[in-house]
Chain A
Amino acid sequence: MEFIIPLFIGITVMFGFIRKVPVFTAFAEGAAKGLITLYKIMPTLIALIIAVNMLKVSGAMDYLCTLLSPIAEMIGFPKEIIPMVLLRPVSGSGSTALLTQIYSDCGPDSFAGRVASVLCASTETTFYAVTVYFGSTGVKKIRHTLWVALLADLTAAVMAVVTVRIFFSI
């Protein structure tokens, strides 16, 4: 799968040439948009990384993980993932902070690192999406939206563990 990034970039640039898009200008403008996004999320990201780091060094994270590990073990989850499952639908910055924490503690190629990657990539910040989309309309009763979305998130969490176990035969 090492070829995927170069291939993806190559195909995009090639299409750019075919469609006569000024590729360099487009890239630079896109990069500028990206930096603006990053600038906007920086305070949130810093705030949540500090909080997650505090949770870890205080020993509270370990305690929480150990406390929840019987449940985690029962359903075959690595215990490092539990905080992630809880935080993912609420906060994108928070789960990025947890993700990098797991990467530096267990390594990105560890079982926990892989499951965390799959979990992060296959779910969305559910509460945020529901708030933003319904917030833009005058809808007060969202009916079953939130429950269904959260059940989908749970499915992703279970499938993250299952697929990583199957594909990496752990």
Chain B
Amino acid sequence: MRIIIDIVESGGKMLSFVWGGIILISVIFAGFSQNFAELSQGVLDGAGDAVSLIITLAGIICLWSGIMEIGERCGFTALISKALSPVLSRLFSGISRESKAYKYISMNVSANLLGLGNAATPFGLSAMKELNTLNNNSSVASNEMVLFVVMNTASLQLVPTMIGSLRQSYGSTSPFDVLPCIWISSLCALLVGVLLACVFNGTKSRENL
């Protein structure tokens, strides 16, 4: 799910650069290899392909957003956040477990784990706001902020429904056979991220002392 949710892109300079760059490279390359005919056909095909992909995605997205909405109203998030508290309270030992910041962090991480992208982002933004207050609205990120954002850029998800559905719609015989691979590699990425963030957080705070 999240691969789709997060692509409501910020419209930053970076994407303009990437998108424009891809187009220019393609046109220049076609010029060198003299295949403008193919390229002009390709542009139109691409536009058509995009629409058929969107139609495929529309069904898949509706299915999973609908199911996730049921899960959300059942209180899955609160359930998972209770289960995660031994780990999370150690990682964020700098903030009180009763604080709003901790509560939002825990809800955000749980929603991410369940693949509830729609729910995770508002929790995440609230968490950042609280952390910012705890950090006295400083212009330098606090250790907790760094760790929290790093955790959000990793994508550990119990059931990656979106990828499974996409693979199935492209004719995979067993769309979820990659599930163990996804768990292991996303867990490794998360561990590396958290570990590095903690190591650098440690050296930095010692410098400050």
A residues near B (Cβ < 8 Å) are 1-2, 4-5, 8-9, 12-13, 15-16, 18-19, 21, 23, 26-31, 33-35, 37-38, 40-42, 44-60, 63, 87, 90-97, 99-100, 103-104, 107-109, 113-114, 117-145, 148-149, 151-153, 155-156, 159-160, 162-164, 167-168
Q: Does B4 contact A (CB under 8 A)?
A: yes
Q: How far is the CB of B114 from chain A (nearest CB, A)?
A: 10
Inter-subunit contact A35/B61 (CB<8 Å): yes
Instruction: Across the interface, name the chain B residue whose C-beta is closest to A60.
Output: B29
Inter-subunit contact B66/A38 (CB<8 Å): no
Contacts A108-B175, A151-B193; A91 near B47 (Cβ below 8 A): no
Inter-subunit contact B196/A148 (CB<8 Å): yes
Q: How far is the CB of A35 from chain B (nearest CB, A)?
A: 6
Instruction: Across the interface, name the chain B residue whose C-beta is closest to A103.
Output: B170
Inter-subunit contact B73/A60 (CB<8 Å): no
Contacts A45-B53, A53-B42, A117-B167; A144 near B7 (Cβ below 8 A): no
Inter-subunit contact B12/A131 (CB<8 Å): yes
Question: Assuming A143-B204, A149-B193, what are 12 further A-B pairs, CB within 8 angstroms?
Answer: A5-B161, A8-B159, A46-B47, A46-B54, A51-B46, A54-B26, A58-B27, A91-B9, A122-B155, A122-B182, A144-B146, A152-B154
Inter-subunit contact B153/A49 (CB<8 Å): no
Inter-subunit contact A31/B63 (CB<8 Å): yes
Query: Could you say which residues of chain B place their CB within 8 Å of the CB of A23?
Result: 70
Q: Does B91 contact A (CB under 8 A)?
A: no
Measured in the bound complex, the distance between the Cα atoms of B174 and A149 in whole Å is 31
Query: Could you say which residues of chain A place their CB within 8 Å of the CB of B124?
Result: 133
Contact with A along B126-155 (1 / 0, CB 8 A): 001101100101111100011011101111
How many residues on the B side are at the interface (Cβ–Cβ under 8 A)?
113
Q: Does B87 contact A (CB under 8 A)?
A: no
Measured in the bound complex, the distance between the Cα atoms of B100 and A58 in whole Å is 53
Inter-subunit contact B150/A148 (CB<8 Å): yes
B residues near A (Cβ < 8 Å) are 2-10, 12, 14-15, 18-19, 22-23, 25-27, 29-30, 33, 35, 38-39, 41-43, 45-47, 49-51, 53-54, 57-58, 61-76, 118, 121, 124-125, 128-129, 131-132, 135, 137-141, 145-146, 148-150, 152-157, 159-167, 170-182, 184-186, 188-190, 192-193, 196-197, 200, 204
Inter-subunit contact B181/A26 (CB<8 Å): no
Query: Could you say which residues of chain A place their CB within 8 Å of the CB of B177?
Result: 1, 114, 167-168
Measured in the bound complex, the distance between the Cα atoms of B8 and A42 in whole Å is 9
Q: How far is the CB of B191 from chain A (nearest CB, A)?
A: 8
Measured in the bound complex, the distance between the Cα atoms of B148 and A130 in whole Å is 10
User: Chain A's interface: helix, strand, loop or mixed, by majority?
Assistant: helix
Contacts A120-B163, A139-B139; A151 near B192 (Cβ below 8 A): yes
Inter-subunit contact A123/B154 (CB<8 Å): yes
Inter-subunit contact B4/A37 (CB<8 Å): yes
Query: Could you say which residues of chain B place their CB within 8 Å of the CB of A53?
Result: 42-43, 45-46, 49
Q: Choose one: A118, A128, A152, A159; the contact of B193 (CB below 8 Å).
A: A152
Task: Give 22 pairs: A residue, B residue, CB < 8 Å, sorted on A.
Answer: A16-B70, A53-B42, A54-B42, A87-B18, A95-B3, A100-B166, A117-B182, A118-B182, A118-B185, A121-B157, A122-B156, A122-B185, A128-B10, A135-B10, A136-B125, A137-B131, A148-B200, A152-B189, A156-B185, A160-B185, A167-B177, A167-B178
Contacts A12-B67, A34-B61, A100-B53; A156 near B178 (Cβ below 8 A): no
Measured in the bound complex, the distance between the Cα atoms of B70 and A30 in whole Å is 8
